[in-house]
Amino acid sequence: MQTTPHIGLETETVIIFTALAILGLIIDLWAHRSDKPISLKAATFWSCFWVLVGVSFGAFLYFHFSPEVSSLYFAGYAFEMALSVDNLFAIMAIFSWFGIKSGYTHRVLYWGVLGAVVFRLIFVLIGTSLFAMGPYVEVVFAIVIFLSAYMMLKKKDTQELTDFSAHGAYRLVKSFVPLYPKLVGHNFFISHKHVLEELKKEENKNIVLKKTGFIYATPLFLCLAIVETSDVMFAFDSVPAVIAVSKDPFIVYSCMIFAIMGLRSMYFILDALSNALVHLEKAVIFLLFFVAFKLLSSASLHITGYGFEISVYTSLYVIAGALSLGVIASLLSKKKENKDN
């Protein structure tokens, strides 16, 4: 019977992972310290930078442990990147509703990713602990992933959330912190003194504050709160799917973290190419069904004796192949559309 390798919290590996992640974040934060919009060329460069960081850690796992450990990491990494595409499109809708300028989106995404780092750790620890309880938990996770894929399959292209005023994060912030209704630079919060200065301006003379206090949240913070809570909901789908590839908590967490750290740069690429990658979501749906089948087959083998284990390498090939086909089909479809026009 096939067993999934576990590397645990080996000291040298943890140190290298932590150093790469922190150094990358420092470099990224320093490079984007201004509020200038990020060009497609710059976004492509920084996406390649984060891919290089993620691949470097995967290469370390290859030489330090084994090719199988590295394959588990890269399979989870590719899967998390693919699953993140839908989340990025949802973030585009959030920015659009709040009217956030492109120069400020990176700031929101940066702090959003830092929050995701914490939430992913919590979900990964809980998820892998549940998996350790036995094959019946695998069945539950398979059902969750299957339902996620089914909901994505049934979702209509015309469905788009444009009004977030009923969002839980929006109501939560309003109930605790006074709101200032306009953006004030890249500030998430402004002081009461700053608000009084803003209200003296001619263009703000019609603003009436419903609630006062020492500090006020701006729409940029509301945007961040909704991005964070949306990511938490997204993690309920993505974490079980990636854990299904590898049940080792450290492998799962490291591949997810390096994947989501590159999401800020990928956002600006997808924003420019959102109308081109029309078939990528179909590839993601297929992969979710594949992972659900993988879990059910494994659970069946352990519970009834009938079934089979899908190897790490097979999972990696299926993930890479499906994503490649989705991108190629999208590009060919776009090329045909341009030719017909």
Six-digit token pair at 47?
A: 């996406």
Question: In this prediction, what percent of the chain has a pLDDT beyond 70?
Answer: 74
Residue-range domain boundaries for the chain: 11-158+236-340
Six-digit token pair at 300?
A: 């069946």
Give the tens place of pLDDT for each residue, 127-170.
767 666 667 777 776 786 677 677 767 765 444 433 444 556 66
SS3 readout for the chain: CCCCCCCCCCHHHHHHHHHHHHHHHHHHHHHCCCCCCCCHHHHHHHHHHHHHHHHHHHHHHHHHCCHHHHHHHHHHHHHHHHHHHHHHHHHHHHHHHHCCCHHHHHHHHHHHHHHHHHHHHHHHHHHHHHHCCCHHHHHHHHHHHHHHHHHHHHCCCCCCCCCCCCCHHHHHHHHHCCECCCCCCCCCEEEHHHHHHHHCCHHHCCCCCCCCCCEEECHHHHHHHHHHHHHHHHHHHHHHHHHHHCCCHHHHHHHHHHHHHCHHHHHHHHHHHCCCCCCHHHHHHHHHHHHHHHHHHHHHHHHCCCCCCCCHHHHHHHHHHHHHHHHHHHHHHHHHHHHHC
pLDDT-derived band at 58 (thresholds 50, 70, 90) equals: very high
The answer, yes or no, to whether residue 62 has pLDDT greater than 80, is yes
Least confident range from 95-99, 265-269, 272-276: namely 272-276
Is-contact 288 152, C-beta < 8 A? yes
Whole-structure pTM value: 0.66
Mean per-residue pLDDT, 98-111: 75
Give the tens place of pLDDT for each residue, 298-311.
788 878 888 777 77
